[in-house]
């Protein structure tokens, strides 16, 4: 076998191995750091660092860096620095988003955030977990499942959203909650683990108002 042909075969095998690992990740199976090492070029730590150190009087530069750092960014987006992201490229944010300080994206796979979402300080959205048995955590063994946050959701301070969770339209997640399962639309949910405590109704239109009509 010629050297050129051998190199071609090696590149083809590498492509096949990458596809196999990506399929494993998509299925929520355990994969290792070594297996996923080919994804390293998708990480954008320099852009995240630059964003976090850009002065507040340079909003256009911040916007430019955010668009470059994340997978997609909508219009009228506010994300207060610092924020943190494992990749950045797997984060997708809709229009009219507000994210307060110390928002952490563990985005080994997609995190998709809809329009009009508000996130309070020190929230973690993590798509990745690790097996319980220590022998399966060798070489940083892990599994990843995407997170979806639908339109108009409000997430309180110090919330952790775990892999595979979908939070439905308009729902409110109380401060300090750990969200380990899907939350339906238009509810208030709180706790560890996070549970629905009530529906959001028209009566909520009259609460916390400055004056009566």
- Report, as residue numbers or ranges, the catalytic residues: 130
Query: What is the crossing angle of helices 45-52 and 59-69, to 10°?
Result: 160
Q: What region, left, alpha or beta, does residue 152 occupy, with left being phi > 0 and alpha being psi -120 to 50 degrees? A: left
CA distances to 22, 126, 150, 172, 180 from 159, in Å: 29, 11, 16, 11, 11
Distance CA 40, CA 36 (A): 8
Q: Are 178 and 196 in contact (CB under 8 A)?
A: no
Q: Are 57 and 164 in contact (CB under 8 A)?
A: no
How far is it between the farthest Cα atoms of the chain? 84
Helices and strands in the chain, H and E counts: 3, 19
């Amino acid at each position: 076998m010629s050297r050129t042909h051998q190199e071609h075969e090696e590149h083809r095998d590498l492509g096949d191995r990458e596809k196999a690992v990506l399929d494993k990740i998509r299925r929520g199976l355990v994969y290792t750091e070594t297996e996923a090492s080919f994804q390293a070029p998708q990480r954008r730590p320099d852009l995240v660092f630059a964003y976090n150190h850009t002065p507040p009087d340079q909003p256009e530069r911040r916007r430019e860096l955010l668009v470059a750092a994340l997978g997609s960014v909508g219009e009228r987006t506010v994300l207060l620095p610092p924020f943190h992201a494992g990749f950045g490229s797997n984060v997708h944010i809709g229009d009219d988003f507000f994210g307060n300080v110390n928002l952490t994206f563990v985005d080994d796979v997609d995190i998709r955030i809809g329009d009009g979402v508000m996130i309070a300080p020190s929230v973690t959205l993590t798509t990745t977990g690790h097996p319980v048995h220590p022998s399966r955590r060798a070489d940083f063994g892990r599994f990843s499942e995407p997170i979806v946050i639908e339109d108009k959701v409000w997430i309180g301070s110090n919330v952790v959203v775990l892999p595979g969770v979908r939070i439905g339209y308009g729902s409110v997640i109380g401060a300090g909650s750990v969200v380990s399962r899907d939350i339906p639309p238009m509810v208030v949910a709180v706790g560890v683990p996070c549970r629905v405590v009530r529906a959001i109704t028209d009566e909520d239109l009259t609460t916390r108002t400055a004056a009566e009509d």
